[in-house]
């Protein structure tokens, strides 16, 4: 079933609930406000979709809608497969868990789709922040009551969407599952890295019922989290996808990246094996005794995991402690919004090491439907609705693309004109304030993605590779000359 979107340009009203769909085992259906009452709710979020940007825009234009959902069967990737075919087996396995389990799919393909170019991955990754906040809004609107056990499952850049959503929910999810979240050096070079080590600590992962359980499965681009500050309770699993060579290198890499989804699907179908979904608190499993890291090296027995010895790489106490940071309050940075002045902007001066911008939001008046939108350098990064206050853990903006220099932070107060606030009633006209704007810095922070850094890395790599090649060639020439000089003497020996 195909649903049209109505969220449109960033200056208009944002309707995140339209991005959610409910999977009933065979079809995708719209999600209405307050319609989810099941005790277990699983939400799957797809990742970067290279090679379909033009196709998605053309089909949306023909349908007279702003965008198509990821489950539209007309969206075909460069390998000839529908986008939903990569994930529908996981959705089906979750649906088969029983009537108490609701399975949702979140679509942000309109902002994660790009041309088939690895250097465009940063465009998908920088859209993860605002979509995490949209997902949080949609779930708060869709789930009735506060008793549901929420399970967020993100693949690739969808894992970043899941993490940002978890920080923005008034009640944290019970579990967050990350499937091959890109964190490798190759991902950092191309701008695809999630850089979630500065976000996940904000939800305080743990092994008890009071804290979210976080498990991460790396099959190609993923890297362990449990050795990062504040993330010692994360369960990391290194998966071995096997040697499956495809027609092209792109297909081979894509298959290895997809393997994390396939592996987790198998664990949902066989939870009695006690790994993957089998150790989930939603399966009533005990998580306290789990190791920090596991690995799989048997392609024919994928669910046979071994604990990775920790004594080989002992963790220093300072690595596992909360990361030391520096908070700098920005003076004269407050922004006050109203119906007469619905937008405001401030210029921020950033220095190397700056990683986050934290802030407070105060909303008064109106009827609770008003939305607050934040952009950083004209890129949407935050959205919230007045009736769903964002906890302190979610009031931030990641500076993944933040190079040193000036950056523009823009705030807007948006009112739904279809349900406008009745003048003369309620608590008065809506007002909002962005206060206590603070820059958080880490001296050891890994710099984010910029084209200048990629160019410099490429240049240095070329110089090193060229220099090594030149030395090798010169050494080979000298060795050949030495051999020619010695050849007559060697031939003259009796």
Over residues 299-322, mean pLDDT: 67
Residue 406 lies in a domain: yes
Domain count, the chain: 3
Whether the model pTM is above 0.85: yes
Q: What is the pLDDT of residues 430-489, one digit of tens each?
A: 999 999 999 998 766 655 555 444 444 444 444 444 555 555 555 555 666 666 566 566
Which residues 6+ apart lie within 8 Å of 466 measured at CB?
none
Q: In what order do the strands lie in the sheet with 40-45?
A: 28-30, 20-23, 101-106, 40-45, 149-155, 175-179, 213-218, 235-238, 293-295, 306-307
pLDDT category, 327, cuts 50, 70, 90? confident
DSSP state of 225: -
Residue 2 lies in a domain: no
Q: Does 343 have pLDDT greater than 70?
A: yes
**433, 455: one domain:** no
d(CA 456, CA 477): 31
DSSP state of 17: G
Residue 460 lies in a domain: yes
The angle that helices 158-168 and 128-142 make with each other, rounded to 10 degrees, is: 50
Q: Does 348 have pLDDT greater than 70?
A: yes
In this prediction, residue 465 carries a pLDDT of 45
Chain-wide mean pLDDT for the chain?
85
**93, 224: one domain:** yes
Which residues 6+ apart lie within 8 Å of 72 measured at CB?
2, 59, 83
**314, 335: one domain:** no
Percent of the chain with pLDDT over 90: 63
Domain that holds residue 431: 326-441
Percent of the chain with pLDDT over 70: 80
User: Helix, strand or coil for residue 339?
Assistant: coil
Q: Does 165 have pLDDT greater than 70?
A: yes
Structural domain ending residue among the three candidates 424, 441, 458: 441
**386, 466: one domain:** no
With CA atoms as reference, report the closest residue to 164 among 346, 395, 450: 395
């Amino acid at each position: 079933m195909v649903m049209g979107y109505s969220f449109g340009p960033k200056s208009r009203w944002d309707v995140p609930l339209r991005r959610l769909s409910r999977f009933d085992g065979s079809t995708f259906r719209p999600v209405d406000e307050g319609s989810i009452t099941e005790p277990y709710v699983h939400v799957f979020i797809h990742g970067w979709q290279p090679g379909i940007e033009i196709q998605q825009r053309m089909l949306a234009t023909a349908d007279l809608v702003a965008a198509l959902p990821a489950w539209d069967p007309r969206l075909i990737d460069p390998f000839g497969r529908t986008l939903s075919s990569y994930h529908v087996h996981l959705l089906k396995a979750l649906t088969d868990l029983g009537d108490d389990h609701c399975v949702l799919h979140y679509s942000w393909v309109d902002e994660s789709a790009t041309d088939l170019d690895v250097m465009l991955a940063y465009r998908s990754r920088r859209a993860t922040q605002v979509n995490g906040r949209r997902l949080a809004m949609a779930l708060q609107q869709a789930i009735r009551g506060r008793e549901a056990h929420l399970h967020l499952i993100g693949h690739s850049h969808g894992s970043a969407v899941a993490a940002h959503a978890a920080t923005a929910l008034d009640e944290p999810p019970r579990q967050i599952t990350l499937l091959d979240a890109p964190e490798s050096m190759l991902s950092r070079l191309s701008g695809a890295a999630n850089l979630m080590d500065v976000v996940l600590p904000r939800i305080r992962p743990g092994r008890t019922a009071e804290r979210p359980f976080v498990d991460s499965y790396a099959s190609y681009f993923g890297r362990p989290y449990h050795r990062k500050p504040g993330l010692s309770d994360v369960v990391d699993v290194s998966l071995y996808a096997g040697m499956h060579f495809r027609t092209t290198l792109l297909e081979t890499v894509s298959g290895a990246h997809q393997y994390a989804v396939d592996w987790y699907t198998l664990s949902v179908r066989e939870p009695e094996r006690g790994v993957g979904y089998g150790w989930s608190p939603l399966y009533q499993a005990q998580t306290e005794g789990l190791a920090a890291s596991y690995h799989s090296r048997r392609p024919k027995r994928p669910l046979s995991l071994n604990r990775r010895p920790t004594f080989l790489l002992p963790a220093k106490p300072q690595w596992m402690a909360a990361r030391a940071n520096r908070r700098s309050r920005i003076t004269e940075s407050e922004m006050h919004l109203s119906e007469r002045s619905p937008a405001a902007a401030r210029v921020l001066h950033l220095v190397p090491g700056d990683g986050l911008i934290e802030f407070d939001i105060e909303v008064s008046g109106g009827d609770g439907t008003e939305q607050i939108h934040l952009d950083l350098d004209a890129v949407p990064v935050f959205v919230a609705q007045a009736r769903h206050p964002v906890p302190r853990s979610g009031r931030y903006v990641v500076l993944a693309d933040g190079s040193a220099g000036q950056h523009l932070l823009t705030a807007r107060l948006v009112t739904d004109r279809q349900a406008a606030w009745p003048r003369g009633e309620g608590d008065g006209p809506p007002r909002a304030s962005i206060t206590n704007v603070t820059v958080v810095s880490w001296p050891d922070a890994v710099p984010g993605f910029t084209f200048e850094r990629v160019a410099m890395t490429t240049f240095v790599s070329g110089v090193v590779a060229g220099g090594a090649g030149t030395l090798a060639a010169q050494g080979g020439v000298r060795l050949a000359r030495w051999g020619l000089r010695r050849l007559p003497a060697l031939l003259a020996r009796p």
